[in-house]
């Protein structure tokens, strides 16, 4: 997968900004920093400076590096060029989500009013919604998308499964955003149920489509007859 400074610089600047914010805030930050909130928006766990200030940018840097180098070791790396835009959008969205979480922590430790459940729900739900819209553009590979034994050995299963997964993530994203807005156990339960049932259904569907694909490929090291129904 080809990369350039033109595309990587915004991501690097975002990660660098998170580290810079941690460095600037280190000396004046309290010893107890909010790191987790309940559905009511109240802090239910505190952490130290390492967890509250340093861990988020470290996680962002780790995610950036992993998503940058995964295509280089993927046996299906040639296909990344076919969904380069979608993969880049996914990388940006994940880092922006981590940046929002970082901002929430810094605002909260300064005593600024933040509706954490609503903001987190809208951010994470928006991430799922975006992923849903990108699913249909992802081409076969070993690291990104719905990777079951059946999607990895059948182009038909991969294509149809990702179309279904796209709808699942879009619906799940909307439910997560709704959970953030309403902040009720019922709304959260609905979001969890939609995602759980949707993911399970997607896996089952990938097998059903695989069974009907005459061009499916048997796993490496097995005889062609081993893949027969």
Predicted local confidence at residue 83, as pLDDT:
95
Q: Which of 49-58, 59-68, 116-125, 181-190 has the lowest mean pLDDT?
A: 181-190
Of 111, 137, 164, the position where a domain reaches its end is 111
Domain that holds residue 86: 1-111
Is pLDDT at 210 greater than 90 in this prediction? yes
Give CA 160 to chain center in angstroms: 21
Residue reference for tokens 């995964």: 70
69-106 pLDDT, tens digit per residue, is 999 999 989 999 999 999 999 999 999 999 999 999 99
pTM of the predicted protein model: 0.89
Is pLDDT at 108 greater than 70 in this prediction? yes
Of 111, 142, 169, the position where a domain reaches its end is 111
pLDDT band, very low/low/confident/very high, at 6 (cuts 50, 70, 90): confident
16-39 pLDDT, tens digit per residue, is 999 999 999 999 999 999 999 887
pLDDT band, very low/low/confident/very high, at 220 (cuts 50, 70, 90): low
pLDDT band, very low/low/confident/very high, at 217 (cuts 50, 70, 90): confident
Same domain, 103 and 4: yes
47 SS3 class: strand
Same domain, 107 and 123: no
Of 111, 140, 164, the position where a domain reaches its end is 111
Q: How far apart are CA 201 and CA 195, in angstroms?
A: 10
174: CB partners within 8 A, 6+ apart: 125, 129
Residue 27 near residue 9, CB atoms below 8 Å: no
134-150 pLDDT, tens digit per residue, is 999 999 999 999 999 99
Same domain, 76 and 29: yes
């Amino acid at each position: 997968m080809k990369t350039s400074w033109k595309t990587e610089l915004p991501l690097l600047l975002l990660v660098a900004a998170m580290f810079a914010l941690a460095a600037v805030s280190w000396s004046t930050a309290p010893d107890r920093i909010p790191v987790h909130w309940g559905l009511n928006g109240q802090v239910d766990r505190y952490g130290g400076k390492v967890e509250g200030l340093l861990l988020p940018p470290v996680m962002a840097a780790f995610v950036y590096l992993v998503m940058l180098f995964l295509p280089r070791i993927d046996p299906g790396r040639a296909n990344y060029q076919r969904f380069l835009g979608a993969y880049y959008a996914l990388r940006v969205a994940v880092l922006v989500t981590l940046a929002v979480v970082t901002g929430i922590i810094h605002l909260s430790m300064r005593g600024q009013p933040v509706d954490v459940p609503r903001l987190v729900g809208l951010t994470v739900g928006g991430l799922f919604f975006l992923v849903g819209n990108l699913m249909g553009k992802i081409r076969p590979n070993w690291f990104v998308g719905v990777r079951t034994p059946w999607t990895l050995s059948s182009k038909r299963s991969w294509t149809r499964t990702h179309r279904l997964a796209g709808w699942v993530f879009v619906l799940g994203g909307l439910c997560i955003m709704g959970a953030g807005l309403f902040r009720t156990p019922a709304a959260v339960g609905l979001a969890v149920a939609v995602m759980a049932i949707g993911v399970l259904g997607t896996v089952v569907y990938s097998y059903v489509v695989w069974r009907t694909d005459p061009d499916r490929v048997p796993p490496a090291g097995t005889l062609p007859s081993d893949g027969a129904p």
